[in-house]
Structure 1
Amino acid sequence: MDIDPLADTVPPRHALESDEEEDEYNPLRPSNSQSSNQVADVKILGQLPPGRNLVIATGDVAKYWARGAELGEQSGAVYVNNIQVGLMFNPSWTKNTIIISEALTRLPPWAMHPYASTILDSLKPSKVSLLDTYAAPSYITEDPVPLHDAPLRYLATASVVPAVKSAAEPYAPPNLIQSTSASLLSLIAFFALPSAPVTASEGEPGPPTSTATAGTLILVPSPHIPHAPPKVLEPNNFTRLAEDRFEWPESTVNAAQELVFAAFDNEERPPRWVYRKERGGEGEGGRRRRDVGDGGMYI
């Protein structure tokens, strides 16, 4: 079957499946360059104490929140195939480790699971609180809600603290989360983080013990339906820091921030979030740069 790779459309699926020739052009088959890139080598750099509660903010709302949060200097990083994906902070005002994820590049679906698994296995948090967005225009509900009235929503792997229940609404089925937050919640829900076995008597190992990690995802409404995730992991693009697809009101960001930390069910409260204007004048390429944390994100 002869196929023009410059044609406007690809042939029907049955036309490809009914052809037994394997050496002909197949537009649905991934290229060699794509398939070779689908191995995620995840590394965490920096000295980060394990066992702390973990805050992970992902995507557009992550970099927007990080700009006004008092995160301090970057203390570590999560790399996937030598590309920095997660920026790690340990600000003085909290005992939690904070990761700003995918502010400089987006993860392809094949890299989400190993990325999430490495973070949880390495840092061994007792609880995880996540911040992400949901597309308000495509949210499925019996009574459509205008964007300006769209509430904060939540998903959780365990019982939710009253503060979250009273200020946000559940993210209800059949709606789905397809970002890296979904991989994190899935791992938290279905896999316990192992610890050392306990010895019952001398010479006889006791039953292994494990601590189930509780996870809570706080979702901020977004007016945009997200683009499909990329097929390959792109290099860091620092101009993404200056690209705001949407600017949330300070009241919304502060409310979401309060719920992220309230999910840990302790008395620790973050400083009030205030939007920071551009700093440092013109950045590379004549474009104004906006900093994440205190700008110390070059690890």
Structure 2
Amino acid sequence: MDIDPLAESPAPRHAIESDEEEDEYNPLHTQPVTHCAPLDIQIVGNIASVPSLVIATGSVAKYWARGADLGEQVATVAVDKIQVGLLFRPAWTQAAVLVSEVSTRLPLWAMRAYTRAVLGAIKPTDVALLDAYAASVYISDARTTFVDAPLRYLSTSAPSTTLSSAAQPFATPNLVQSTSAAFVAHRAEQSASATLLLVPAPHITPPAPRELSSSDYSLSGDTTSWSSAHVRTAHALLFAELGEQVASTWKEPPAEKPTAGRARKRPIDTDIGMYI
């Protein structure tokens, strides 16, 4: 660095230039996470090819599943021995139902591999998805709040009349950054059908974690006040997009009792018997 020896006082710190600035430690600088080792993705349980698949993701998936009468879990999708997806075969539909990421979330670098593994194993002809979007930061010409925010959708094909009359398009420059986006993108690459329904959420979802862990506390004990009317409509639309008029309707689940503490979740084993 250059300092004037004739100056009456030292130069202020911001005026001193150093060629070694790039070598100095910067606590705000972070290196991107790269995952070199291949992911160990296993689908354990009773799984077979089905004509259609419903995929519900995140905290809205947990709320929807509790009122959807899904029955007993028949399989699980584990990523590096951590349970990420729960697979159901309800008696009232021909579709399989995957409830994904209700207790943990996938990092961005794991989403594509997870998507390919699920769709490659189940091989559905049609796919319908359920997720959420943050109403408070949605960019549109008309300002909306959570109270009056509509259901929105993304589709790889022209929407049906039923869909377009009950929901509004999820328009650019807004982005879907959850695993749902990877599922829709993969289906689009295969020129296959996929419809994503997005329920308005009053909060902004935290960014995806940098690493996969057995529990994501941003999802544990979720107290989001979801619109039961929106979720009920989304339930009907999900199966209508698959060509089904199901007799089973979605029922608002009772409020969850608060827990005294959060127990650490253990990696899964072959015992997958559980209910939602």
Specify the alignment match of 1:244 in structure 2: 222
Q: How much has 1:136 moved relative to structure 2?
A: 0.5
Q: Give the 3 Å change call, closer, same or farther, for CA 92–51 of structure 1 in structure 2.
A: closer
Q: What TM-score do you get using the length of structure 2 for normalisation?
A: 0.81
Q: Any idea what SS the aligned residue of 2:147 has?
A: helix
Q: How much has 1:245 moved relative to structure 2?
A: 3.5
Q: Size of the alignment, in residue pairs?
A: 249
Specify the alignment match of 1:41 in structure 2: 40
Would you say the 8 A contact 1:83–1:236 is kept in 2? no
Q: Give the 3 Å change call, closer, same or farther, for CA 271–223 of structure 1 in structure 2.
A: same
Would you say the 8 A contact 2:151–2:199 is kept in 1? yes
Who wins on radius of gyration, i.e. which is larger? 2
In the aligned structure 1, how far is the partner of 2:134 from the partner of 2:42?
31
Q: How much has 1:109 moved relative to structure 2?
A: 0.2
In the aligned structure 1, how far is the partner of 2:217 from the partner of 2:274?
11
Q: What TM-score do you get using the length of structure 1 for normalisation?
A: 0.75
Q: Which amino acid aligns with 1:107?
A: L
In the aligned structure 2, how far is the partner of 1:97 from the partner of 1:190?
22
In the aligned structure 1, how far is the partner of 2:169 from the partner of 2:95?
25
Would you say the 8 A contact 1:55–1:128 is kept in 2? yes
Specify the alignment match of 1:297 in structure 2: 274
Specify the alignment match of 1:258 in structure 2: 236
The yes-or-no answer on 1:104 pairing with 2:106 is no
In the aligned structure 2, how far is the partner of 1:173 from the partner of 1:181?
16
Instruction: Flag structure 2 segments of 5+ consecutive residues without an equivalent.
Output: 1-17, 264-271
Q: Any idea what SS the aligned residue of 1:253 has?
A: helix
In the aligned structure 1, how far is the partner of 2:235 from the partner of 2:192?
20
Which of 253, 259, 266 is residue 275 of structure 1 equivalent to?
253
Would you say the 8 A contact 2:131–2:180 is kept in 1? yes
Instruction: Flag structure 1 segments of 5+ consecutive residues without an equivalent.
Output: 1-13, 192-211, 287-294
In the aligned structure 1, how far is the partner of 2:178 from the partner of 2:20?
31
The yes-or-no answer on 1:75 pairing with 2:74 is yes
Specify the alignment match of 1:228 in structure 2: 207
Specify the alignment match of 2:56 in structure 1: 57
Q: Give the 3 Å change call, closer, same or farther, for CA 71–283 of structure 1 in structure 2.
A: farther
The yes-or-no answer on 1:29 pairing with 2:31 is yes
Deviations 1:245-279 (A, max 9, x none): 31223222101111111111233343232213448
In the aligned structure 2, how far is the partner of 1:269 from the partner of 1:75?
22
Q: How much has 1:190 moved relative to structure 2?
A: 0.8
In the aligned structure 2, how far is the partner of 1:229 from the partner of 1:97?
26
In the aligned structure 2, how far is the partner of 1:15 from the partner of 1:144?
48
Specify the alignment match of 1:215 in structure 2: 194
Would you say the 8 A contact 2:50–2:95 is kept in 1? no
Specify the alignment match of 2:164 in structure 1: 165
RMSD of the TM alignment (CA)?
2.9
Q: Which amino acid aligns with 1:114?
A: A
In the aligned structure 1, how far is the partner of 2:115 from the partner of 2:237?
22
Specify the alignment match of 1:130 in structure 2: 129
Q: Any idea what SS the aligned residue of 1:173 has?
A: coil
